[in-house]
Amino acid sequence: MTVAYDGHGFHGFVAQDGVRTVGGELRAAVSKALRHDVELTCAGRTDRGVHAWGQVVSFDASGSSFDADALQKSVNSQLGPAVVAREVAVVDASFDARRSALSRRYHYLVLNRPVPDPFFAATSWHVKTPLDLRAMQAAGDALIGEHDFTSFCRTPPGTCSVRRVVDLGWCDAGDDVRRFEIEASSFCHQMVRSIVGTMVDMGRGRLRPGDMSGILRARDRAAAGQPAPPHGLTLWSVRYPAVAS
């Protein structure tokens, strides 16, 4: 199932007792539609306040009279518009939304103008200071490839923070919106938001683009900037081998 959701009002994706999560709501809706309990596996465990356009979840629907269209309609009726099943498909039993993924792609939006905009407020970070887009673009070159991203991750000591970034970049999306896109094999906790926060510091002139290599080599969270707010971040898509779809 390919799922889109507005992260506001949810304590992230992963189901937790006593709080409202995307995964908890979605699991209950799918279980109700199929009339048996399911366990969901998601491609990316988005944090509190983070959105998704192309989250992918897998689950076992065996033992039920499965109708993809009926399941999609039921889930959307129960959860829409905050959570929407964009597509439902049958896949091979070996498919796993998390382990079968080759890469995940995230978008981050920055509204760069003096005055806030209520129509962008829910999905972008409002930055008043004019940003040097070229400086932010140049800073990304050092991050391409496989690196230890400890400087950009909130992870327990001893946790592996090596990730492989295959693509990233900034663009002018119009209407004073700057869009950052990044694709990697996987991401550690707060990695994208920390990269964005550091790059915005470079766009403001607080850091130089050339500082990015040193920040990466430092393997020290204190070397990088503060994480950007969660509401500007969206899990945009997940890439799988052709044989898995």
Q: Is 47 a catalytic residue?
A: yes
Would 2-99 and 105-234 be classified into the same CATH topology?
Answer: yes
In CATH, 105-234 is 3.40.50.1100: no
**DSSP for residue 152:** G
Say what the pTM is: 0.94
pLDDT tens per residue, range 142-186: 999 999 999 999 877 778 899 999 999 999 999 999 999 999 999
Q: In the 8-state DSSP scheme, what is residue 140?
A: G
Q: For the structural domain made of 2-99, what CATH number should be given?
A: 3.30.70.580
Please pick, among 6, 17, 47, 60, the residue that the annotation labels catalytic.
47
Give long-range contacts, CB 8 A cutoff, 24+ apart: 205-214: 205/132, 205/135, 208/135, 209/135, 209/136, 209/138, 209/139, 211/139, 212/139, 212/140, 212/141, 212/142, 212/143, 213/142
Q: Among 140, 132, 43, which Cα is nearest to 95's?
A: 43
**pLDDT band of 245, cuts 50, 70, 90:** very low
Domain ranges of the chain: 2-99, 105-234
